[in-house]
Amino acid sequence: MTRGLNRRYFSLIKRTHNHQSFSFFQAMNTTRHHHLIYGTLRDYLTGEELTDTDDERIRQRLSRFMVEVKGYARDQLVPRLAIETFFGASFVRSVIDLTLCLEDRRFLIIRYGPGSLVSRERSAIAAARVLNPDYRIPLAVVTNGRDAELIDTATGKILGNGLESVPDHHQAKRLIPTLTFLPRQHGPALEREKRILNAFDVERCCP
């Protein structure tokens, strides 16, 4: 649940950052070969050596976008947190591409994947509800590198569309007091979210 969050607020964000988002991503190649490996690259946030693929290059550009356009410090962005689930014969390691932290709280996750955003909404909500051991992360973003949706993870409602709808650092600081960090679920409710995440991510063709 959120207090005071509505489409009018996020429409303001969209008007403010629409040009910046477009110019930052307009050069991105839309034809990607998800299994093609070019070698290695250095992670923008941590300097870690990673496998260089088209998808990883988009993830790196998202990290740069959050720092250079949205104004976050690098240490406020945590890459590649993971949730491990095992149901039936399926062990799945679900990676959260970016987790945003302010005031010692994880308040938003970003998950990247090529193709349709709609098919990724529910698994992003599940990830936000499971990732933190103490509370549910209130916001999630799903993106294919060009488009994005900002989601209220308590209700499943779409709060904004486009990468420009992701709150920048200044807006996030004002936003934090309006967010409700619900307690983590337990028992069957928590298992249901883990099953959703497991079922979706076991079918993904690319990590």
108-144 pLDDT tens trace: 999 999 988 999 999 999 999 999 999 999 999 999 9
Mean pLDDT of 94-102: 97
Q: Is the pLDDT of residue 27 over 80?
A: no
Task: Say how far apart CA 4 and CA 199 lie, in whole Å.
Answer: 33
Task: Say how far apart CA 174 and CA 5 lie, in whole Å.
Answer: 11
> Which is more confidently placed, 23 or 171?
171
Closest by CA position to 169, among listed 99, 78, 109, 101: 101
What is the Rg, in whole angstroms, of the alpha carbon atoms belonging to the chain?
16
Q: What is the pLDDT of residue 206?
A: 44
For the whole model, what pTM was predicted?
Answer: 0.86
Mean pLDDT of 172-193: 96
Map out the domains of the chain as residue ranges.
Answer: 7-27+35-201
Q: Is the pLDDT of residue 23 over 60?
A: no
The model's confidence at residue 21, banded by pLDDT at 50, 70 and 90, is low
Which of 14-23, 80-89, 119-128, 140-149 bottoms out in mean pLDDT, i.e. has the lowest? Answer: 14-23
Closest by CA position to 96, among listed 166, 205, 201: 201
Q: Which residues contact 205 (CB under 8 A, 6 or more apart)?
A: 34
- In the chain, the largest separation of any two C-alpha atoms, in whole Å, equals 47
39-64 pLDDT tens trace: 999 999 999 999 999 999 999 999 99
| Overall fold of domain 7-27+35-201 | tt1808, chain A (3.90.1570)
The share of the chain scoring above pLDDT 70, in percent, equals 81
